[in-house]
Every structure is written in structure tokens, then in C-alpha cells.
Amino acid sequence: MTKRVLVVLSGGQDSTTCLFLAISRYGAGNVFAIGFDYGQRHKAELECARDICRQQQVHFEVIQTPIINELTSNALTRGEITVESTETKQDPPNTFVEGRNLLFLSYAAIYAKNQGIQHIMAGVSETDFSGYPDCRDIFIKSLNVTLNLAMNYDFVLETPLMWLNKAQVWQLADELDALDIIKNQTLTCYNGIRGEGCKDCPACTLRRKGYVEYLRGEMDCTK
């Protein structure tokens, strides 16, 4: 039986790189994508995801999950909270949305099972993450076991970016011939600006740093 995969797609750099990797591995006709509207201030990311899926002929659905916004207080769902720099903090930053990946992957699993899909791909990373505990490999492995037990189903949670830094993610995008699309059509910025973003928030800083490092590495290789 042909393998199919469900990509958890936000419309940002990492999840979109996963989308193109899934297309490369499984073929566009076997790739499905799911996004979540949880009241995020950078909600325009979902339009980016929708546009890219339309271009690639991948089925995309958005699930409404406003309960996250109602239960938590963070800079991504509350406009009155300023996004702070996280470079010197030990605790999760104020952009951490508690329970987000737990709920998103659980909803994705419910959707996947009802579509007869076992593989679920997410763009979480423990290497270049912002201190979010639900991006760690141990959490993903634990949740994979829990979902299998909860639904009596053999899910496979794929996290191909788990041990890649941002420069390596840009390299992967280039290898997938998706560099220009991800550079110009995705939205990583917490302030909702497509492409290079506001260039100031933590997400933009991390994205830009990785891009510069990748280009520097490419230039070094050509010397």
C-alpha cells in the first residue's frame, strides 16, 4: 500500500521545508497538510501555507483551535504582550504557547487516522529552538507512544529537522529546490511580515542568522 503523510504546516520556514521534503519522499499526491488557527498574531502564516499548498497541489485544511488563546497568556496570542528577546533567558520565552504542540499533534493524529494515514511530519527542532519544551525529541517520542496507545493505531511521528540548525534547514531547502519559495513566500515573523519579516523579533533573528551562515558556508565551499 502506498504510504501517505500528513504534514503539520504553519506556513513558516521549518514546516514548509518539511512539506517539500514530504513531497520529495512520498509524492505530492500522497501528501496532506493541516494548519491551526489558534488566534495567533501572525495568523497570515496560514495564508502562506494555503498559497504554497495550492501551488504544489497538496490538500490543505485549517482547524480552528481558539481554546488555546482562551487558556493561555503569551505574546503570540495576546496583542498587548510585547514579544521579548530570549537570548539571555533560561526559562521558556513569552512566545511559548503552552500545550500547543501537544494539542496540534493530537488533533493531527485524529485527522490522520480518519484518513487512513500513519505518518505525521512536523518541523520541530531541538537544535535551533527557542527554549520551547514541546520541541524536544523526548517529548515527540513520548507523545508518539501515547497517541498509539490512545487510538490503538501505529502512528509514526517524523521530525526530520530535529537535529538540524537553521543553516542546515536552509541547505535542505536548497537541496529540495525550494529555497526561493521558502525565503520569499513563508512567514516566520512573530509580527506577521512575510519573507524576511520584521528583522527584529527572535524568530526573524534566528531565521536570518541561519540564512547568513548557510550562504557563508556556500561561499567557503566555492573558494
CB-CB contact of 35 with 9 (8 Å): yes
CB-CB contact of 44 with 19 (8 Å): no
pLDDT at 76 over 60: no
Residue 73 cell numbers, joined: 497568556
CB-CB contact of 64 with 201 (8 Å): no
> pLDDT tier at 219 (50, 70, 90 boundaries)?
low
What mean pLDDT is reported for the chain?
A: 86
| Residue 132 CB neighbours (<10 A) | 20
- Alpha carbon separation from 89 to 85, 100, 126, 203 (Å, rounded): 8, 21, 17, 15
In percent, how much of the chain has pLDDT > 70? 79
Delimit the domains of the chain by residue range. Answer: 5-165
Q: Is 221 exposed, middle or buried (0-12, 13-18, 19+ CB in 10 A)?
A: exposed
pTM equals 0.88
CATH architecture of 5-165: 3-Layer(aba) Sandwich (3.40)
Q: What is the DSSP letter of 126?
A: S
Q: What gap in Å lies between CA 223 and CA 221, rounded to an integer?
A: 6
How many helices (H) and strands (E) the chain has is answered by: 8, 5
pLDDT score, position 70: 64
pLDDT in tens, 58-75: 999 999 987 766 666 554
User: Nearest 5 degrees, angle CA 210-CA 56-CA 186?
Assistant: 30
Q: What is the DSSP letter of 128?
A: S
Angle in degrees, 0-180, between the axes of helices 13-26 and 45-56, rounded to the nearest 10: 20
Output the DSSP codes for 11-43: SSHHHHHHHHHHHHHH-GGGEEEEEEES--TTT
pLDDT score, position 192: 83
In percent, how much of the chain has pLDDT > 90? 63
pLDDT score, position 88: 45
